[in-house]
Amino acid sequence: MNRIEFGIIHDIFTGLDRQIGLHGGAPIGLVVCGGTALFALGLVHRTTKDVDVLGTAVETGKMLAVQKIEKPSGWLIGAAKTVGRDFGLPDNWLNIGPAPQVESGLPKNYGRYLTIYFISRLDQIHFKLYAAIDRDDYHTQDLLALNPTEEEVETASKWTLTQDVSEGYRSVLMAFLREHGYESIASRI
């Protein structure tokens, strides 16, 4: 199976837009995070195995709200399956698992049906810190590549404590912060 690279992500989204139309779909805005958003915004350059979707973007007056996709519609599943086949991607390349926890960034239109919203760099710092805490892998590398300021790491750390309120998590967070040069943040939170 192919990995998704920066050079083909726009082709993949354009293909998904076309397939949504061919599968009888309707316009949809997807809020994307993770590796795809990192390289689409030029923040980190690496490949990824999937496109992590937080939810759909829905206009409510002058604002955008992120809504969880409870069950993807048949046309979205069919469109994603066709695009996956065409680009040699894994069956679950359009990953609708992540929870809708962040604000969306600016939209990128891929045609008549599909708009992609990428989460911001600061939102990425929050998500990457949370993901990196219990495993030292590409999430940690992505976080460090974002070169967060001490203030950004402190804000993200406080947010992660709202996602997991256990003392065990707090201890692991403190150890992670100390290990990566953020001792002063660990002592403040």
The domains of the chain are located at 6-119, 122-188
pTM as predicted? 0.79
Secondary structure (H, E, C), 108-122: EECCCCEEEEECCHH
Over residues 15-70, the pLDDT tens digits come to 999 999 999 999 999 999 888 988 888 888 888 889 999 889 888 888 878 888 88
